[in-house]
Amino acid sequence: MELNVYLDKLKKILVVSSCTLLTACFGSNKKVEITTAPAAIQVIHPEFPRPIKLDNITFKVVTSENLDDFLKQWKQKNGDDFVFIAFSVKDYETMAINIEELRRYINQQREIIIYYRKATNYEEPKPSDSQPTP
């Protein structure tokens, strides 16, 4: 008997909640209007890194024919301390090719950056009087 009372209460609750839900759906006749507008996207463009500043270095070509003269001149100019760094001709050519490959890669990366700056209508900031120019 207790189960029948419980089921009756449950039926009443279900009927009331169903009616409430159904009337809530039919009670609103508001139209929803959807509009689209283009959004302005702010693209952040970091500054280019400062230019590379490299110091000059001097290469001396030393062969078996001029080794004695080179050592004599070196000791007069720099003292007795020295270190030899030797390249074969093939290794020197490889180093030159590698440096040129780095130069090519850096230039291509720069062109990609410039392309995207143009594509996003980037304008270079104008220097103001309060900011010192490098």
Say what the pTM is: 0.50
| pLDDT tens, residue by residue, 6-37 | 778 878 888 877 777 666 556 566 788 888 88
Within a domain: residue 79?
A: yes
Does any domain span residue 126?
A: no
pLDDT-wise least confident of 28-37, 54-63, 90-99: 28-37
Domain count, the chain: 1
Is there a domain that residue 5 lies in? no
* Neighbouring residues of 71: CB distance < 8 A, sequence distance ≥ 6: 82
- Whether the predicted pLDDT of 93 surpasses 90: yes
Residue 80 lies in domain: 54-121
Rg for the chain, CA atoms, rounded: 40
